[in-house]
Structure 1
Amino acid sequence: MVRYGELIVLGSNGSPPGGEKGRRRSRLALCSRSKANGVKAGAVHPSCTPQAAKAVSSKEQHSISYSVSGSQTVVVEYAHDCTTDMFQIGRSTENPIDLVVTDTVPVVQEQGRSDAQALQSTISRFACRIICQRDPPHAARIYAAAFDSSRNIFLGDKAAKWRTKDGRMDALTTNGVLVMHPLRGFSQDSRPGVWREVSVCGGVFALRETRSAQQSGKPVDSESNELVDGSLIDLCGSTLLWRTAEGLALTPTVKHLEALRQELNAGRPQCPVGLSTLAFPSLRRRDVPDHRQPWAYLACGHVHGYHGWGGRRDPQVEAERQVRECPMCRARGPYVPLWLGCEAAFYVDAEPPTHALAPCGHVCSEKTAAYWSRVPLPCGTHAFRAACPFCIAPLSERPGGVRLIFQSPLD
């Protein structure tokens, strides 16, 4: 079995809310299948022909139908390709979907979200598909839209569609599939690239004026739909990170992150006020506050233990994240608990966790904090903002995160 790479959902920090449930997971390893299931474009038919009707109705034949007008449809047959493997992503729980994704919402918004809001997803039921070459170098390419249980893709009148120079059809999905390839690879020297949109046939385009506009952006012929290590895929509600097998081999493991946590705790950092010894909880208990939990003033980075200063509140209550004055330097800003970033695939290096992302308080290496604070992630249907990869909370305008200042033990 060959591992092509992995898709990791941003905001999961090692596991999705509620835990792994079947195909609704925080990550998907793309490995070679026992039998190739890839497809490639074949014959093109007007909808009125018997061949078109057979392609749409057949349970064994993949096809894409383009509604050109109310009375005209173009059907493209897709034939079996023994050289590729296909993986599909979307909100649907039907069998053809390999990774079921739902809207990723920051914890703060999740707490105040109603059931009605939770049902209003902007992610397509059949969002996209990834085709991997079975032979080296195992190139992985992304395409908008995925085949349903009948092995069909239907693009209605409202979908942006056109004929290509060679006479074939192409289109964009309703809310689109956006891709961003990092510059200089996914490493400590990485820089964010430019967001593009990929079409149903794998074309690359500049972004539309709005996410669901019926006019496509200009084609970008100098770029391709081939994924590289660190590519981001946005499905309008959830963003995925693509890591190649080669890139993951150079990424710190969970064991390495655990060793860094133990090394940090071995230094016995102290609260400079209460003089108690602080310790980051184990990765398994990463979301459960502990009485030794480190807290930090994000305006200055001074690390303390939890203190209520005159009116103790439940440290788990979000209202606690108010503006507070640091007793060490008098800087005023958010006062939050610190949590180690547990998803190793989000790290651009293997350095110790020294910086906190603000205002969520997730701790990671300096270069990792710097990279993610510069990445503009799609937000809603037309906005972009930097967000924490571990919890997807919007980041403050302070670039590079906050350098943490630990108090060494006095003894």
Structure 2
Amino acid sequence: MFSPNQLEHPGSIDALKYGELIILGYNGSLPGGNRGRKRSHFALYRRANANGVKPSTVHILSNPQDSKLSKSVLQAVNSKIHHSIAYTMSRSQTVVVEYSHDDETDMFQIGRSTESPIDFVVMDTTGSTKDSEDSSAPSTISRFACRIVCQRSPPYTARIYAAGFDTSKNIFLGEKATKWKNPDGHMDGLTTNGVLVMHPWGFPEDPKQGEWREISVCGDVYSLRDTRSGPARGQLAHGESSALEDGSLVDLCGATLLWRTAEGLLHAPTLRHLDALRLELNAGRPQCPVGLSTLAFPSLPRSHSLEERQPWAYLACGHVHGRHDWGQRPERHREESSSGSGGGSGTGGRRECPLCRSVGPYVPLWLGYEPALYVDAGAPTHAFVPCGHVCSERTVRYWAETPLPHGTHAFRPTCPFCSAPLSGPPGHVRLIFQGPVD
């Protein structure tokens, strides 16, 4: 396993990158900063030595308590040398599939656990499958949620599988878990809350949303269950693959991850490019129509705290202003709209735009600073509603049309930079800046 420093700077070990996983909702950095295996994005590099595994021997234990075969297999399972998946079919029968070393693949594991088998520690994202008021609820992300297996040779295909091996190198599917034997005889199953995947078409040049599917423990693709943890699996999606593509989304029931291939990232905008767009926007000296003060987007290190010259916008019309107290609506209007204001504006409700009299949320604007979330390198002309995150028109339209899993069976579009549910349609607004009057 790479050290945190090697994850960012693999150096002479092996600098070939398979791709990156980006957690939606953090805009480039966790609240406490990206540290070690806890980070808002995770780069997958080819390992110095292959650590992949592949299925080998299958054992059917008809009487796990008394069988000598059972004891020998269980000793192997508990030896922490061999990987295995155990399927408990009933109290009297367990099927154990042993896995052997595969020197052609690298395996990376993702989950909530901070134990050593997990390469990328992922926590619940506020606003994704949980409401912000329910942040104290138990996590719905599995401790060992999923694993990604990458081919070490071209074309370096990355495939996703539900569930990860624990500290004993085992995966256990208990008696109540959804599992079955396929016609070809191999065992398979689903995890409690499932691992969902959506592969888009034409990402990022002309992206179109694909269908959400569920991935099994063995990497097969199924239609969704009736509810997230329902007992019956969906229909096998014939011809569909667990191979991740540039722009694929992976949902762990509590956090949604975006997969970007190494090649795709080469064509994505960089932080330097996004900052150049910020400087170009500020160079236009946009002004507040009310206070006539010059507005400016803060630089990246200060992009999470309000500044005096911070641009604000009326999201019903898109007119950009500086912060002011003009246009407060009566208290009854605030109560009616408080659930939709979002973005942490601190204004207490709806406001009336002094230019066009449109009434709606009035929030500070924040630049989207996670480059991998952009589908192009266009100018920051649009904002998500109601959070006020700003990015290019094509980017805002793509995400506003992408429903993300929410709860046990719902889907809704959210801002990829903060995971706030979008209001709408359309869920975004074109910003209208006023230039200097001099």
Q: What is residue 72 of structure 1 aligned with on the other side?
A: 93
Could you say if the C-alpha distance between residues 273 and 318 of structure 1 is closer, same or farther in structure 2, counting changes exceeding 3 Å? Answer: closer
8 A Cα contact 1:10 1:241, kept in partner: yes
Q: CA deviation at 1:59?
A: 1.1
Give the counterpart of 1:128 among 136, 146, 152: 146
Secondary structure of 2:375 counterpart: coil
* Aligned residue pairs, count: 404
Which consecutive residues of structure 1, in runs of 5 or more, have no partner in the other structure? none
**Whole-angstrom distance in 1 between the partners of 2:152 and 2:229:** 34
8 A Cα contact 1:371 1:400, kept in partner: no
8 A Cα contact 2:204 2:376, kept in partner: no
Secondary structure of 2:372 counterpart: helix
**Whole-angstrom distance in 1 between the partners of 2:133 and 2:346:** 13
Structure 2 residue identity aligned to 1:360: C
Q: CA deviation at 1:106?
A: 3.2
Relative to the length of structure 1, the TM-score reads 0.95
Q: CA deviation at 1:168?
A: 1.1
- Residue 239 of structure 2 is aligned to residue 239 of structure 1: no
Q: CA deviation at 1:235?
A: 0.2
Could you say if the C-alpha distance between residues 342 and 396 of structure 1 is closer, same or farther in structure 2, counting changes exceeding 3 Å? Answer: same
Q: What is residue 17 of structure 1 aligned with on the other side?
A: 31
Deviation by residue 1:242-269 (Cα, 9 ceiling, x = unmatched): 0000000000000000000000000000
Relative to the length of structure 2, the TM-score reads 0.89
Give the counterpart of 1:87 among 85, 108, 129: 108
**Whole-angstrom distance in 2 between the partners of 1:74 and 1:226:** 27
Q: Which moved more, 1:42-51 or 1:341-350?
A: 42-51
Q: CA RMSD in A?
A: 1.8
Q: What is residue 324 of structure 1 aligned with on the other side?
A: 351
8 A Cα contact 1:46 1:52, kept in partner: no
Give the counterpart of 2:208 among 171, 182, 191: 191
Q: CA deviation at 1:321?
A: 5.1
Deviation by residue 1:134-154 (Cα, 9 ceiling, x = unmatched): 000000000000000100000
Could you say if the C-alpha distance between residues 205 and 234 of structure 1 is closer, same or farther in structure 2, counting changes exceeding 3 Å? Answer: same
Give the counterpart of 1:137 among 155, 159, 177: 155
Q: What is residue 393 of structure 1 aligned with on the other side?
A: 420
Secondary structure of 2:109 counterpart: strand
**Whole-angstrom distance in 2 between the partners of 1:199 and 1:5:** 22
Q: CA deviation at 1:20?
A: 1.8
Q: Which moved more, 1:126-135 or 1:40-49?
A: 40-49
Structure 1 residue identity aligned to 2:32: G
Structure 2 residue identity aligned to 1:68: M
Q: What is residue 165 of structure 1 aligned with on the other side?
A: 183
8 A Cα contact 2:38 2:122, kept in partner: yes
Which consecutive residues of structure 2, in runs of 5 or more, have no partner in the other structure? 1-13, 329-342
Could you say if the C-alpha distance between residues 341 and 321 of structure 1 is closer, same or farther in structure 2, counting changes exceeding 3 Å? Answer: farther
Secondary structure of 1:39 counterpart: strand
**Whole-angstrom distance in 1 between the partners of 2:132 and 2:346:** 12
**Whole-angstrom distance in 2 between the partners of 1:317 and 1:360:** 7
8 A Cα contact 1:46 1:74, kept in partner: yes
Q: CA deviation at 1:398?
A: 2.7
Q: Which moved more, 1:318-327 or 1:4-13?
A: 318-327
Q: CA deviation at 1:22?
A: 2.4
Secondary structure of 1:142 counterpart: strand
**Whole-angstrom distance in 2 between the partners of 1:101 and 1:31:** 18
Q: What is residue 275 of structure 1 aligned with on the other side?
A: 292
